[in-house]
Structures are given as structure tokens and as C-alpha cells.
Amino acid sequence: MENDSPAKITFADLNLDERLLRAIAAKGYTAPSPIQAQCIPYLLEGRDVLGTAQTGTGKTAAFALPILQLLLRHPRRMPRNCVRALILTPTRELAAQIHRSFLEYGAHTGVHCAVVYGGVGFQPQINALQKGVDVLIATPGRLIDLGERGCLNLDSLAVFVLDEADRMLDMGFQPAVQRIVNEIPEVRQSLLFSATMPSTVRGLAESFLHDPVNVAVAGESATADNIAQQVWHVEGAHKKQLLLHILQEHHTEGLVMVFMRMKHAASKIADFLKKNGIQAEAIHGNKSQNARERALSAFRSGKARVLVATDVASRGIDVKGIELVINYDMPNEAEAYVHRIGRTARAGASGKALSFVEHENRNMLRSIERLISQTIPVQKDHPFSPSKHIPAPPSFQRDSADSRPRSPNRPKTGWQFRKRRSA
Ligand code: AMP
């Protein structure tokens, strides 16, 4: 990752514990990323932080390292069911990923970390909590369930982190987050991190923080500079063929993420690609947690070259080597675009993002361009561009998610399908 912070400081300059420096060296990091260089000193001073940074810029270490350092500085054995630092995150995959990062950064520290999320059995999580936990990473629903079962005591909590805060404070999660905040001590250190921070949630975010320092790296809602973005205009009935064409002719190697709006359509597209000789997996909220993890690990290991996902996977998931993101369906919200394309070009690598834009998506495209303050170049000449009027073979029309008959009441924008919690 490039270190473009003005002072060119090192991790040792941040006064991090030698046990953490060893783990950082083992990860191969040579210098703190800008968000790390800016956040870590404030967090070590005990300040609250409101952090805004692009995806893939090292946000996790920006909070994990100082939390581990603070726990090392004030060692305390946690009693049964008690927790010292809580990280709340919207998806199970992200919770598991942050847990892995804590285990790596804390490998030489003896700090006790645990993760709890829904979709898997309670008992192992209850057992982990019974031992007392220094750092707990959790999704809100399961945390509340465990609290209601009397397996969790948040009275000793000293540090509270809300990751992906904009998503956590929107209508879907906000009541659960508020309930959890009501349970934790008022005197605490709080950190809020997000790639995007719309003004609608900023006020609420600030109500959780005490005299916060604002740390913003790059412009809010900016997309990573090293992602080459393109718009491909196409009619809905031709999107499948266009996808196959791109994967077979243009982008024949490297990992690809394809984003779709509908869960069942994501599975269908993955099957369609497999039938055409491209190893693909689907990940979405209708799959069991085990199936989601299997799909992700097949993708991570390169066994599946393509991961077809709904927005459940658009945030935070860090898989090395994703070279291309395809927005097969445009997102329902401009901010989701930033999160989706942020799956590529992570940690200083470069990447590409292509968006399939149907006539009815033009307003969304304009909103996205306003949000990122850029006009996305259009790929003019391709075999499926609307001007070429290629009729789709009947088989494509029959089972394509895009050619389902339209209900006369269904609005053109597709908003009625927004079910953010189960995406
Ligand atoms: P995050 O934004 O926390 O998901 O991190 C994105 C990626 O950057 C992960 O693969 C990290 O391992 C990597 N990373 C985090 N900090 C650094 C650093 N200081 N130098 C190089 N890579 C880093």
C-alpha cells in the first residue's frame, strides 16, 4: 500500500508495542497507510475518532493496532461473559474477516479475541464468552440474542467500534445499534469508521461520540484513484451474453466479482457461467452461512474465478487479486457503487470496474457520477451495444432475470425490491 502521508512516518514512530511491530513486519507492511498514520496517535491518546476513508485503505489495522496496544498497556483478566472492546459490523463475512485481522495483528500478544454472528450455532459462541473476552467482533442481531440469553455482560466495555457506520446507522440496523449503545457504559472510547458518511447519518454518528477527532482520508465517497471505470450501455435481455463475452474474450484471467440485485438471479448467473465453462460461485443472503463461507473460500483460493454477489458482499470483503468488478445490475443507491468497486484495487493494486447500464439506470448513473465527481467513460463499440439491435436468443430471454414480465404496478427503478438486511 502506498504511503502518501506527508510525514512518511514508520510504524515504530507510532510507538507501537514490539509484539505488534513483529506481527506488522510478518504481514509485510513497510509503512502505515494514511488512515493508520492519522488515526493511531489519536486512538492511543484515548480520543474518539470519526474516520472516513476509501475502501481498501487499511481501516481495520487503523483501529485494531491501537486497541491491541491499549489492551496490552492495561492488562486485565476479563471475568466470565465480560468484554473490553466491541466491534460491531453489518455482515457475517466482515465480522469473520476483522476477527482474522485481530488474530494476525495480535498473534504475539495473548489478547483474547472472539467473534459472534448469526447463521451458526450458539454454543461455541457462548463457550467463548464464558472465558471472558478482550476483543469481541459481532453482528448486531446475534449480539442482542446472546445478551437476551444472559450470556453477555457489557458493563466492563472500554472501547466501542462501529465499522461501516453508514450502513449500521441506516434504517435497517439503527434500532439494533441504538439498543446495544444503550447497554454499554457512557464513559468509553468510541470509534466510527466508514468509506462513506452521508449527512443523514452523520448527526446520529456524532451522538455516539464524545468530542471526536474527524479523520478523513481522500474525499468523502471518493472511489479509489487506481480503478479504471467504464460504462457499457446494454439492453437487459443482452446482459448475460455481454457478461460471457467479457469473461471469455476480454478478461480471461484473474478474479472477477459480479454484482447483482436479486438473490435468485445471482445463483442463476453463476450456474449459467458454470455451464459455459467458467468456474463461478454465488454469495447472497438466501444461502446458509456454511454455503456462503464455502463460496467465499473457493473464490479466495482461486478455485472459482468469478463470484456473483448481491450487496451482502459489497462491503469490506478483502480478497486479494480481484482484478475486475462488474456491476451486472446497477445498485439501488449511489453509495453502494463505491463499496462494490472498492472490492478491486485494494492495498495499492490497480483494478477495473465495468457497469452495465440499461436505459432505466441512467438516473442512477448520473447520481453515481455526482457522488464520485467524475464522468465515467463509456465503452462505445461492443457487440451488444443497444445500437446494434442483436436479438437475444429465446433461451436467454426465457430464464434471464432481466426479462421477467413486468407487473404494471412495478416502478421502473426497482425500489420495491430493496431489502437491505437480507441482501
Ligand atoms: P482494509 O481496508 O482494512 O480492509 O485493508 C485492506 C488491505 O490492505 C488488507 O489486505 C490489508 O492487509 C492491507 N493493509 C493494511 N494496512 C497496510 C499497510 N500499512 N501496508 C500494506 N498493506 C496494508
Rounded to the nearest angstrom, the distance between the alpha carbon of 364 and the centre of ligand 1 is 30
pLDDT above 80: residue 397: no
Q: Mean pLDDT of all residues in the chain?
A: 83
Note whether residue 385 is domain-resident: no
Note whether residue 408 is domain-resident: no
- If asked whether residues 208 and 247 sit together in one domain, one would say no
* 59 close to ligand 1 (CB < 6 Angstrom): yes
Q: Report the nearest atom of ligand 1 relative to the CA of 55.
A: 2
Of 174, 196, 216, which closes a domain? 216
Of 216, 244, 277, which closes a domain? 216
- If asked whether residues 210 and 231 sit together in one domain, one would say no
91 φ, ψ to 5°? -120, 155
Contact 282, 269 (CB under 8 A): yes
Rounded to the nearest angstrom, the distance between the alpha carbon of 275 and the centre of ligand 1 is 36
- If asked whether residues 193 and 237 sit together in one domain, one would say no
Q: What pLDDT shows up at residue 220?
A: 38
pLDDT above 90: residue 382: no
Rounded to the nearest angstrom, the distance between the alpha carbon of 396 and the centre of ligand 1 is 41
Rounded to the nearest angstrom, the distance between the alpha carbon of 87 and the centre of ligand 1 is 18
Rounded to the nearest angstrom, the distance between the alpha carbon of 327 and the centre of ligand 1 is 24
* 32 close to ligand 1 (CB < 6 Angstrom): yes
pLDDT digits (tens, 9 = 90+) for 124-151: 999 999 999 999 999 999 999 999 999 9
- If asked whether residues 188 and 231 sit together in one domain, one would say no
Sheet holding 280-283, edge to edge: 227-233, 351-357, 322-327, 255-259, 306-309, 280-283
In angstroms, rounded to a whole number, what is the distance separating the alpha carbons of residues 266 and 339? 18
Q: Tell me, what CATH number does 272's domain have?
A: 3.40.50.300
Q: What pLDDT shows up at residue 179?
A: 92
Give the three cell numbers for residue 35.
488512515
For 327-341, 363-377, 406-420, which range has the lowest pLDDT when averaged over its residues? 406-420
* 61 close to ligand 1 (CB < 6 Angstrom): yes
Q: What pLDDT shows up at residue 385?
A: 83
Q: Report the nearest atom of ligand 1 relative to the CA of 36.
A: 19
Contact 402, 239 (CB under 8 A): yes
Q: Total structural domains in the chain?
A: 2
- If asked whether residues 332 and 278 sit together in one domain, one would say yes
Is 371 or 69 the better-scoring residue by pLDDT?
A: 69
- If asked whether residues 180 and 286 sit together in one domain, one would say no
pLDDT digits (tens, 9 = 90+) for 16-64: 999 999 999 999 999 998 889 999 999 999 999 998 876 577 889 999 9
Q: What is the pLDDT averaged over residues 265-274?
A: 95
Q: What pLDDT shows up at residue 415?
A: 19
In angstroms, rounded to a whole number, what is the distance separating the alpha carbons of residues 220 and 207? 20
Note whether residue 21 is domain-resident: yes
Rounded to the nearest angstrom, the distance between the alpha carbon of 57 and the centre of ligand 1 is 6
The strand pair at 227-233 and 351-357 is best described as parallel
Q: Which of 16, 27, 215 to mutate to test the pocket of ligand 1 (most atoms within 8 A of CB)?
A: 27
* 42 close to ligand 1 (CB < 6 Angstrom): no
Note whether residue 409 is domain-resident: no
Q: Name the closest-CA residue to atom 1, ligand 1.
A: 58
- If asked whether residues 198 and 265 sit together in one domain, one would say no
Is 347 or 274 the better-scoring residue by pLDDT?
A: 274
pLDDT digits (tens, 9 = 90+) for 217-239: 764 344 556 789 999 999 999 99
- If asked whether residues 109 and 29 sit together in one domain, one would say yes
Q: What is the pLDDT averaged over residues 240-251?
A: 91
Rounded to the nearest angstrom, the distance between the alpha carbon of 190 and the centre of ligand 1 is 22
* 139 close to ligand 1 (CB < 6 Angstrom): no
Rounded to the nearest angstrom, the distance between the alpha carbon of 346 and the centre of ligand 1 is 8
pLDDT digits (tens, 9 = 90+) for 58-97: 889 999 999 999 999 988 889 999 999 999 998 888 899 9
Rounded to the nearest angstrom, the distance between the alpha carbon of 309 and the centre of ligand 1 is 23
Contact 397, 237 (CB under 8 A): yes
In angstroms, rounded to a whole number, what is the distance separating the alpha carbons of residues 70 and 66? 6
pLDDT above 80: residue 198: no
- If asked whether residues 160 and 285 sit together in one domain, one would say no
**In the structure, what pLDDT confidence band is assigned to residue 402 with cuts at 50, 70 and 90?**
very low
Rounded to the nearest angstrom, the distance between the alpha carbon of 108 and the centre of ligand 1 is 19
pLDDT above 50: residue 189: yes
Please give the distance of CA 13 from its chain centroid, rounded to a whole number: 30
Q: Name the closest-CA residue to atom 6, ligand 1.
A: 56
* 1 close to ligand 1 (CB < 6 Angstrom): yes
* 29 close to ligand 1 (CB < 6 Angstrom): yes
- If asked whether residues 158 and 22 sit together in one domain, one would say yes
**In the structure, what pLDDT confidence band is assigned to residue 409 with cuts at 50, 70 and 90?**
very low
- If asked whether residues 95 and 233 sit together in one domain, one would say no
* 57 close to ligand 1 (CB < 6 Angstrom): yes
Domain range holding 288? 227-372
Q: Which of 318, 319, 338, 344 to mutate to test the pocket of ligand 1 (most atoms within 8 A of CB)?
A: 318
Rounded to the nearest angstrom, the distance between the alpha carbon of 59 and the centre of ligand 1 is 7
Is 87 or 3 the better-scoring residue by pLDDT?
A: 87
Of 357, 372, 387, which closes a domain? 372
- If asked whether residues 211 and 277 sit together in one domain, one would say no
Q: Which of 11, 29, 35 to mutate to test the pocket of ligand 1 (most atoms within 8 A of CB)?
A: 29
Note whether residue 391 is domain-resident: no
